[in-house]
A and B are shown apart, each in its own frame.
Chain A
Amino acid sequence: MDAPTRRQFILGAAAAAGGLAIGFSARAAAPAAGADTKAPSPFQAYLTIAPDGTVTVLSSQFDMGQGSYHGVATLVVEELGADWSQVRVQGASSNTKLYGNIAWGGTAQGTGGSTSMATSFERYRRAGAAARQMLAVAAAEAWNVPAGEITVAKGRITHASGKSAGFGDMAAAAAKQPVPENVTLKSPDQWTEIGSDNNRRHDTAAKTDGTHPYTIDVKLPGMLTAVMIHPPKFGAVVKSFDAAKAKAMPGVVDVVAVPRGIAVVADHMWAALKGRDAVTVTWDQSKAETRGTDQLMDEFSKLAAGKPKAMAAERGDAAKAMAGAAKVVEAEYRFPYLAHAAMEPLNAVARMNADGTLEVWSGHQIPDLYQFMISKTAGIEPAKVRLHVMKTGGGFGRRGTPDAEVIVEAVSVAKAIGFKAPVKVQWTRENDMRGGRYRPAYVHRMKAGLDSAGNIVAWEHHIVGQSIVDGTPFQGMIQNGIDPTSVEGASNLPYAVPNLSVGLTTVRTGVPVLWWRSVGSTHTAYATETFLDEVAKQAGKDPLAIRLELLKDHPRHVGVLKLAAEKAGWGHKLAAGRTMGLAVHESFSSYSAHVVEISIADGVPRVHRVVAAVDCGTAINPDVVRAQAEGCIGMGFGAILAEQVTLTGGAVDQGNYDSYTPLRIDAMPAVEVHIVPSTEPPTGVGEPALPPIGPAVGNAVFAATGKMHRVLPMVKS
């Protein structure tokens, strides 16, 4: 998601409907009112040291597989002087002042927009440095030597006299030391952990022997498992239901109505699933979305041919320049709804304790918001809510729902059975696939005017689709009718086009939408980068040459583009049947360019090789940068190749991985990733390598066939 400014965020919260908005805005505003600038103790906020020396880093950033825990741990270890093997990472929550995302103005804790390293870079290095200093002072006092003579490295505290202690020996005394007001951080040339591949991820071993715990694995004494029956169409609600048969089945404990549907509560998953088959529900579909995607896309297309409702960017006079152009190129692009389809279907566990505290285990991607939603649903004070931040089996944006969705569902079900037992709500794959919250569908209309020398003199771009933040606590991000998540990557087109207009027409439908890995750039990069290749062909220019010509003021775009082109051998002779394509894109302040080499068999592109270049500023964990680029490439290629959610009469057609078809290993290209050396502050890598892969493949197909795929996906299953 984009970074709302503090002001936008609070305004947005206030503007959204219901008690959530007011409560959330009040909460978000609290840190500013407090105006407490004193540094918190690292031992109360960001790490704990156990008597055995184990360092547990408390991460504000949620890990859905992208490696944020690895990054945060690296920052702490660099300054703390811990040994990598003594470190663990655990999710933290429920303190906006400590954990608020600095890239979002500190107004709320959350993970998104590839901001985890940006928000953590100073905070967690400072925590590590302060803790190291406090350990040193504690040891100095114990040994009666000057603190300046103490060395803290590789998990040991030592003095030249031969005295030596582990972190655990000094932890209690260190925690009592005054928190240093100023700490000196290492300079980059002193780094041994940041920028190195020395440290392997702490969670890999547990992810290869089955011991890594996910929410689905949470098991509590007496816990019940619930499966959901959701409306067959978005916006339908329960009119009545008959659960008599289900309730008589072995293992079924109860069947309850909750705001989002019917829950079948049972001793275990199979009993719940069997029970679910026996429930009959009558739905009130009077307010349901009944349009299919064919109809929606045609409606969007008609709007795209007209005038935009709001302008996102204007430069010069595009209409006038277009009218005077020697040649005009036009194209319409259609992008389908996309499902996140993470491997772990959505789930959450809720337990009410005797002392009135309510514990909730789930993928808490926006914990402050979820804490508030849980308290509101359960009717308890937010302070009584305890969040267990679980690492999830994927996310890609899907665990960051503004209404807390499955989490609220788990609390609602637990409440509906009188909180008599802990409840796990576990969605099936079909619940997940048909549960909405898709990457919105969009239609883009693009038009470029060329002068007689082939220079682009005018560029018009009109985007039509749903807003992701409309009606959510993030609504304040909408300014002057523009949801930045709809136009990012298009409104900030880096190319030196003298006359430009980028417009947006936001439509509302009943289909719930959400941020999907790289958000607006999932479609704007494809539209702009493939359209540019179409224009380049009309202008008789090489795709690399036209970009370099138009990117004179954008050195970081040029940097990744040149690096990828050079490593891939752009322009070299290829084997028969092979073509290359390239694309470059900035998202979330990171830059990525990919060059692909493909062939086509039976009309389907086969990508043999991808050469990727990434500029994310300081690369804290280069191997994580490479891993994220590889994953972005596989996911992004799979999406443009064969992923789409379609609706017929308002009902989602896809239910499982037979009809919604992410990339499999047999279509995965070989990938090599090159990282641009940089001393800039770190930006993100969870998303930015995704946007350029689609258009790079599209452009390679265009080079092979002369036909651009303007309606995605390329292959309809």
Chain B
Amino acid sequence: MTKLNINGVDHDVDAPGDMPLLWAIRDLVGLTGTKFGCGQALCGACTVHLDGEPVRACQTFVDDAKGAKITTIEGLSGRVTEAVRSAWTALDVPQCGYCQSGQVMAAVALLTENPKPTDADIDESMAGNLCRCATYHRIRAGIHEAARRLGA
């Protein structure tokens, strides 16, 4: 048994050390908001926060996550999160929505570091998160809108 701290709760999971955190979160703990897209850290759909830093859960392993505070989309909270979610909803950013857990995780991490990002900042920090519906135009607008709401 390995102890994983996810969203502030300790979970004892029967997982080998080389199991990707993604599958431990989804299949063993049962939190399905974190999505599987590529398995190779290429698309960002499985983005979670490890001690506040965005990482790809498909290429982060159970052994790497031991002792860390893991935050998934279900456990994301606070002012920045609320600003991002309300901006996303106001602008209807998602289309299919499958990548959006990862987009929101990445956007919250960006705005936490940089409360007033430029388009270039957004492009740089969000380029790892693929959206096949190409909602990028609204993701940019959503991040600016969230920044505006945070500044207000």
In the complex, how many angstroms separate the beta carbon of B107 from the nearest chain A beta carbon? 10
Tell me the chain A residues, 657-673 only, with Cβ under 8 Å from chain B.
Answer: 657-658, 662-666, 668-671
Q: Does B97 contact A (CB under 8 A)?
A: yes
Find out whether the CB atom of A208 lies under 8 angstroms from the CB atom of B85: yes
Distance (whole angstroms) from the CB of A160 to the closest CB of chain B: 37
Q: Does A552 contact B (CB under 8 A)?
A: no
A208-B104, A345-B37 known; A396-B132 Cβ under 8 A:
yes
Contact-size category for A? 35 or more
> With contacts A219-B30, A429-B38, A664-B130 known, is A66 near B95, CB below 8 A?
yes
Enumerate chain A residues within 8 angstroms of B101, measured Cβ to Cβ: 208, 210
Contacts of B23 in A (CB 8 A): 268-270
Interface pick from A119-127, A278-286, A494-502, A627-635: A627-635
Q: Which of A425-442 contact B (CB under 8 A)?
A: 426, 428-429
- A657 adjacent to B98 (CB under 8 Å): no
In the complex, residue of chain A having the shortest beta-carbon distance to the beta carbon of B104:
A208
Cα–Cα, bound, A394→B135 (Å): 12
* Interchain CB contact under 8 A, A204 and B32: no
- Contact status A627-B95, CB under 8 Å: yes
Partner of A668, one of B28, B94, B136: B136
B132 touches A216 (CB 8 A): no
Whether, in the assembled complex, B114 has its beta carbon less than 8 Å from a beta carbon of chain A, the answer is: no
Q: How far is the CB of A61 from chain B (nearest CB, A)?
A: 15
* A342 and B96 contacting across the interface, CB-CB below 8 Å: yes
Q: Does B9 contact A (CB under 8 A)?
A: no
Chain B CB within 8 A of A419 CB: no
Within the complex, the shortest CB–CB distance from A164 to chain B, in Å, comes to: 30
- The smallest beta-carbon distance between A452 and chain B, in angstroms, is 45
Contacting pair B134 A657 (CB below 8 A): no
**Cβ < 8 Å to A, chain B residues 1-46:** 15, 19-20, 23-24, 26-28, 30-40, 42-43, 45
- Nearest Cβ in chain B — how far from A198, in angstroms? 12
- Of the residues B35, B124, B133, B137, contact of A216 by C-beta under 8 Å: B35
Asked whether, in the complex, the Cβ of B92 is within 8 Å of the Cβ of A428, the reply is no
B131 within 8 A of A: yes
Hey, what's the 0/1 contact readout for B83-97 against A, CB within 8 Å counting as 1? 011001110111111
Q: How many contacting A-B pairs (Cβ < 8 A)?
A: 181
Known A343-B37, A344-B35, A635-B133; judge A208-B98 contact (CB<8 A): no
Alpha-carbon separation in the docked complex, A65 to B76 (Å)? 24
B136 touches A634 (CB 8 A): yes
Contacts of B132 in A (CB 8 A): 341-343, 394, 396, 635, 662
Listed residue (B34, B40, B96) with the most chain A CB atoms within 10 angstroms of its CB: B96
A65-B97, A656-B38 given; A343·B130 CB < 8 A:
yes
| 8 A Cβ contacts from A210-264 to B | 210-214, 216-217, 219, 225
A67 at the interface (CB under 8 A from B): yes
- Kindly state the separation between the CA atoms of A631 and B39 in the bound complex, as whole angstroms: 24
Closest to A658 in B: B42
Q: Find out whether the CB atom of B26 lies under 8 angstroms from the CB atom of A657.
A: no
Residue of A nearest to B27 (CB): A268
Which residue of A67, A213, A638, A666 is within 8 Å of B123 (Cβ)?
A666
Minimum C-beta distance from B8 to chain A (A): 16
Complex partner residue of B135 from A209, A630, A662, CB under 8 angstroms: A630
Contact B38 A657 (CB under 8 A): yes
CA distance A552 to B77 in the complex (A): 57
Per-position 1/0 for A407-451, Cβ under 8 A of B:
000000000000000000010110000000000000000000000
Please tell me if the beta carbons of B74 and A210 are within 8 angstroms of each other in the complex. yes
Question: Given A630-B138, A666-B124 in contact, is the A343-B43 Cβ separation under 8 Å?
Answer: yes
Give B44 Cβ to nearest chain A Cβ, in Å: 10
Q: Which residues of B contact A204 (CB under 8 A)?
A: 88-89, 92-94, 97
List which B125-152 residues lie within 8 A (CB) of chain A. 126-127, 129-140
B70 partner residues in chain A, CB cutoff 8 A: none
Q: B124 to chain A: which residues have CB within 8 Å?
A: 666
- With the chains together, A66 CA to B135 CA distance in Å? 11
Once the chains are docked, how many angstroms separate the CA of A65 from the CA of B85?
Answer: 18
- In the complex, which residues of chain B have a beta carbon less than 8 angstroms from the beta carbon of A394? 96, 98, 132-133
* B122 CB within 8 Å of chain A: yes
Whether A393 and B127, one on each chain, are in contact in the complex, defined by CB atoms closer than 8 angstroms, is no
Name the A residues within 8 Å of B90 (CB-CB).
200
A343 vs B84: C-alpha distance when bound (angstroms): 22
Could you tell me if B32 and A664 are in contact, using CB atoms closer than 8 angstroms? no
Q: Is the CB of A216 within 8 A of B32?
A: yes
Partner of B134, one of A64, A210, A393, A638: A638
Chain B neighbourhood of A670, CB < 8 A: 137
Point out the residues of chain B lying under 8 angstroms from A212, CB to CB: 97
18 pairs, CB–CB < 8 Å, chain A vs chain B: A64-B96, A65-B94, A200-B90, A204-B89, A204-B94, A207-B94, A210-B73, A210-B101, A212-B97, A343-B43, A343-B98, A394-B132, A429-B43, A627-B95, A630-B135, A634-B134, A664-B130, A665-B136
Identify the 6 closest CB pairs spanning chains A and B, nearest first: A210-B33, A634-B134, A393-B98, A65-B96, A207-B97, A210-B73
14 further contact pairs, Cβ within 8 A, besides A210-B32, A429-B39, A662-B134: A200-B90, A203-B97, A208-B94, A209-B73, A210-B101, A216-B36, A270-B15, A270-B20, A342-B98, A393-B98, A393-B99, A395-B96, A630-B137, A635-B132
